[in-house]
A and B are shown apart, each in its own frame.
With several copies, the nearest count.
Chain A
Amino acid sequence: MNFDLTEERQMLQDSLRRYLRDKYDTAVRNKILESDSGMSAEIWAELAELGVIGALFTEEQGGFGGAGFDIAVVFEELGRAGVVEPFLDSALMGGRILAACGKDDMVEEVIAGALHLAVAHGEPDSRYDLNHVRTAADGTKLNGRKAVVMNAEAADHLIVSARMSGQAADTDGIALFLVAKDAPGLTIQGYPLLAGGRAAEVILEDVEGTLLTEDGYKVIADVTALATVAQCAEALGAMETATHLTKDYLMTRKQFGRPIGTFQALAFRMADLLVEMEQARSAVINAAGFFDTAKRDLNISGAKNLMGRAGRLVAEEAIQLHGGIAMTQEYELAHIAKRIVMADHRFGDTDYHLERFIELSAA
């Protein structure tokens, strides 16, 4: 048993943390949030250079990592700094789908930071159910509508799931297609997201796609498992920042003549947050560490549910312990709290994973 990071991962963590601390402070990030594209091409390129994307892929795939803990290390740091650039959706999900489908040349471009992707899978009435696909594939001609597609506007290609056969909720019969950003019949209605970045409603009308795989459900389920680990790690990083900001504030801010952190009721609540932080860290370790075992999904659902609960607690308590200042958009915690809570709306929320955990542990 050993809970230390390997030397390589430790180096990656150190360099990534250093880079983000130096280059991605609140002012820089708030400027990115206000920009039209909602992301910084410069940051993207520099982080790719640093190896952030390469760490998300196995050596076989052309990267130098790709395991649960590699992904956890990267996304914890991105979460700590509240990074809004779509590494999770474009690089990790898009890239790993392409890797699973043998598109090695494109993966190479992804790792170099040169290719941007979007995964268009969820639909307006699918909520968090991965099997729920109504978008129809008539051969390679696609018709349907995709909901809240992350990074759709900036993507060079969309990866679109569509049904070749079966009913809306069947896991069989779902295929994945590659669709170029300028494909005729493709409409992308973009909008900003509360926690940063942009998404879009995507409408496909007789859009021509290139088949990636007919085993679409499995590929989506596997990459969603990876993405959920990443999302949990990102939330963990953000929660670390939230608790750090709160600790600092408690000992800086004075009321009634003393630091508010010396008021016992507040100090004890801070202690409770730190207890939950250890739980959250362990949940992420479990999700990452059991990734290549039969206990993968049980641990992922356990982690995502726990992060949903602990995340809400940390976000709300951090705001409450701060008081008014945390309500202002320009304060770092405002953005961080949004990242934490909005993580509950991706890849299944607290209740979704509660149910899944119950099912898996009954099995």
Chain B
Amino acid sequence: MDMSYSPEEQAFREEVREFLHTEVPAEMRDKIRLGKELTKDEQENYHAILNAKGWLAPNWPAEFGGAEWNAVQRHIFEEEAAMANAPRIVPFGLSMLAPVLQKFGSKEQQDYWLPRILNGDDWWCQGYSEPGAGSDLASLKTTAVLNDAGTHYVVNGQKTWTTLGQHANMIFCLVRTNKEVKQQEGISFLLIDMNTPGVEVRPIILLDGTHEVNEVWFTDVEVPVENLVGEQDKGWTYAKYLLTHERTNIAGVGFSQAGLAAVKRVAKAENTNGKPLMQNPHFAARVAQVEMDLMAMSTTNLRIISKAAAGEAPGVEASMLKIKGTVIRQEINDLARRAVGPYAMPFASEGLEGANDQIPDPHEMGPVAGDYFNNRKLSIFGGSNEIQRGIIAKVKLAPGA
């Protein structure tokens, strides 16, 4: 047992910290700190900054231009990025589509799409979820039918919860190509240009007023067969590969640490009954409890990372981290809204340009109550916590487990 970072890892941490503070614009980091959404341009700018350094694709193999960081390095970067209020990397192309292309795509697909992802030529979004499917992803109904000439699939149906689809020009989709077989066996993985006629993006406004997600409708959309990834009807396998493959940062330790630091900052400044809120024993108890939980989870995370760095694939532990990680993040969101007291009530709406100028935010915490509601999604999307519990029970209650 050795709980310290190696000198190399510490040096790497210093390099990351230095880079984030010097290369990432302060205005960008301020926006993140205040819970504001980046514009498309800002997001692309951030990607370009990382790409210039060679750090945009930490998990890609070097042959495709990736940094090939191990799990510990990735963890260090995520921790530092969160503490520096650096933006998140938009993951759809970089860590969701790319691993599938690298594993199952054709040479042509790899050569064409992967450099475009690094260079920011395409903005990808993900087309998995459908209305009515929810946690039962494999019940998807969007169809793709090969035309008689065998040159195009014709796609019809609807996807939903498509994150940042409003910015995207490309979408990777799971579509049904065979209705005669078991649900999971008739699904294919298609790359679709969103400028094709018949594709329509409709915004979904979330309960905190933000426009993060969309519906994407397909009406007789023609997709060239070259855009099929791997084999027809094998798409479910590729999607599942992705789900089990790309599970780092599932615990969100960095986000929680940054969030907790912000709560403590406010609680030291905010007064109640003539004393800083942080000296109120009941508020202090809430903070302490989540901090203790976070200290423990952070070590669980490191244990799994250290296994992953040694080549062991995380199994059911990923589901455990997902549950604990979201509970802790949501608890910190709850603390943040408590901390600011009545100032949690104003509605900072992104929808109303300029309308936010008058919104009082004495602690510079941004829309804490909005964030509280927005982050209820953490336990719903990406495999709900109920789905995770089911996975844990299935594995751990199996005979001989």
Residues of A within 8 A of B (CB): 1-6, 69, 122, 124-125, 127-129, 147-148, 169, 189-195, 199, 201, 247, 250-251, 253, 255-256, 261, 264-268, 270-272, 274-275, 278-283, 285-286, 288-290, 299, 302-303, 305-306, 309, 312, 316, 319-320, 323-324, 326-331, 334-335, 337-338, 341-342, 344-346, 349-352, 354-355, 357-358, 361-362
B360: CB under 8 A from chain A?
Answer: yes
Docked complex: B375-401 residues within 8 A CB-CB of A: 376-377, 379-381, 384-386, 388-390, 392-393, 396-397, 399, 401
Which partner residue on chain B sits nearest A33 by CB separation?
B347
Q: Contact check, A195 vs B345: say whether CB atoms are below 8 A apart.
A: yes
Q: Contact check, A351 vs B346: say whether CB atoms are below 8 A apart.
A: no
- Top 5 closest pairs, chain A to chain B, by CB: A334-B207, A282-B299, A267-B393, A271-B392, A271-B389
Complex-state Cα separation, A344 to B342, whole angstroms: 9
Partner of A192, one of B160, B206, B283, B347: B347
Q: Name the distance in Å between A329's Cβ and chain B's nearest Cβ.
A: 4
CB-CB under 8 A for A127 and B341, given A266-B386, A334-B207: yes
Q: Name the distance in Å between B1's Cβ and chain A's nearest Cβ.
A: 5
Q: Contact check, B397 vs A124: say whether CB atoms are below 8 A apart.
A: no
Docked complex: B105-141 residues within 8 A CB-CB of A: 129, 133-136, 139
Q: Which residues from chain B contact A281 at a C-beta distance below 8 Å?
A: 300
Partner of B344, one of A6, A323, A342: A342
Q: Contact check, A319 vs B376: say whether CB atoms are below 8 A apart.
A: yes
B317: CB under 8 A from chain A?
Answer: yes
Q: Contact check, B392 vs A275: say whether CB atoms are below 8 A apart.
A: yes
B306: CB under 8 A from chain A?
Answer: yes
Q: A-side binding surface: helix, strand, loop or mixed?
A: helix
Q: Name the distance in Å between A182's Cβ and chain B's nearest Cβ.
A: 19
Q: Which of B33-41, B148-156, B284-292 contacts A (4 or more CB under 8 A)?
A: B284-292
Q: Which residues from chain B contact A286 at a C-beta distance below 8 Å?
A: 3, 295-296, 299
Partner of A278, one of B1, B209, B300, B343: B300
Q: Which residues from chain B contact A4 at a C-beta distance below 8 Å?
A: 1
Which partner residue on chain A sits nearest B346 by CB separation?
A191
Q: B-side binding surface: helix, strand, loop or mixed?
A: helix
Residues of B within 8 A of A (CB): 1-6, 9, 72, 129, 133-136, 139, 160-161, 204-209, 270-274, 277-278, 280-286, 288-289, 291-293, 295-300, 302-303, 305-307, 317, 320, 323-324, 330, 334, 337-338, 341-347, 349, 355, 358-360, 362, 367, 369-370, 372-374, 376-377, 379-381, 384-386, 388-390, 392-393, 396-397, 399, 401
Q: Contact check, B1 vs A6: say whether CB atoms are below 8 A apart.
A: yes
Partner of A329, one of B205, B293, B358, B397: B205
Which partner residue on chain B sits nearest A288 by CB separation?
B1
Number of interchain pairs (Cβ within 8 Å): 265
Q: Contact check, A147 vs B3: say whether CB atoms are below 8 A apart.
A: no
Q: Contact check, A1 vs B72: say whether CB atoms are below 8 A apart.
A: yes
Complex-state Cα separation, A266 to B386, whole angstroms: 9
Q: Contact check, B296 vs A328: say whether CB atoms are below 8 A apart.
A: no
Q: Name the distance in Å between B345's Cβ and chain A's nearest Cβ.
A: 5
Partner of B358, one of A190, A261, A266, A282: A190
Q: Which residues from chain A contact B317 at a C-beta distance below 8 Å?
A: 278
Q: Contact check, A194 vs B369: say whether CB atoms are below 8 A apart.
A: yes
Partner of A3, one of B206, B280, B306, B370: B306
Q: Name the distance in Å between A227's Cβ and chain B's nearest Cβ.
A: 13
- Having A323-B384, A341-B373, one finds 15 other A-B pairs with CB under 8 Å, namely A1-B72, A125-B270, A125-B271, A193-B347, A268-B393, A271-B396, A278-B324, A282-B297, A288-B1, A305-B288, A323-B380, A341-B337, A342-B344, A351-B338, A357-B288
Q: Which residues from chain A contact B381 at a C-beta distance below 8 Å?
A: 324
CB-CB under 8 A for A128 and B341, given A1-B3, A255-B135, A290-B3: yes
CB-CB under 8 A for A351 and B342, given A3-B306, A191-B347: no
Complex-state Cα separation, A106 to B204, whole angstroms: 45
Q: Contact check, A337 vs B373: say whether CB atoms are below 8 A apart.
A: yes
**25 CB-based A-B contacts, threshold 8 Å:** A127-B341, A128-B272, A129-B273, A147-B342, A191-B359, A255-B134, A265-B386, A271-B323, A271-B388, A274-B392, A278-B317, A279-B324, A282-B297, A283-B292, A286-B3, A289-B3, A290-B3, A305-B289, A309-B289, A329-B205, A337-B207, A344-B338, A345-B341, A346-B345, A355-B281
CB-CB under 8 A for A147 and B343, given A328-B204, A334-B207, A341-B369: yes
Q: Which residues from chain A contact B305 at a C-beta distance below 8 Å?
A: 1
Complex-state Cα separation, A149 to B47, whole angstroms: 42
Q: Name the distance in Å between A46's Cβ and chain B's nearest Cβ.
A: 26
Q: Name the distance in Å between B205's Cβ and chain A's nearest Cβ.
A: 4
Q: Contact check, A320 vs B376: say whether CB atoms are below 8 A apart.
A: yes
Q: Contact check, A1 vs B389: say whether CB atoms are below 8 A apart.
A: no
Q: Contact check, A148 vs B345: say whether CB atoms are below 8 A apart.
A: yes
Partner of A345, one of B278, B345, B370, B393: B345
Which partner residue on chain A sits nearest B393 by CB separation?
A267
Q: Which residues from chain A contact B6 at a C-beta distance below 8 Å?
A: 1
Partner of A148, one of B281, B298, B360, B376: B360
Q: Contact check, A1 vs B302: say whether CB atoms are below 8 A apart.
A: yes
Complex-state Cα separation, A350 to B330, whole angstroms: 17
Q: Which residues from chain A contact B292 at a C-beta distance below 8 Å?
A: 283, 302-303, 305-306, 357
Partner of A358, one of B285, B320, B342, B370: B285
Q: Name the distance in Å between B130's Cβ and chain A's nearest Cβ.
A: 11
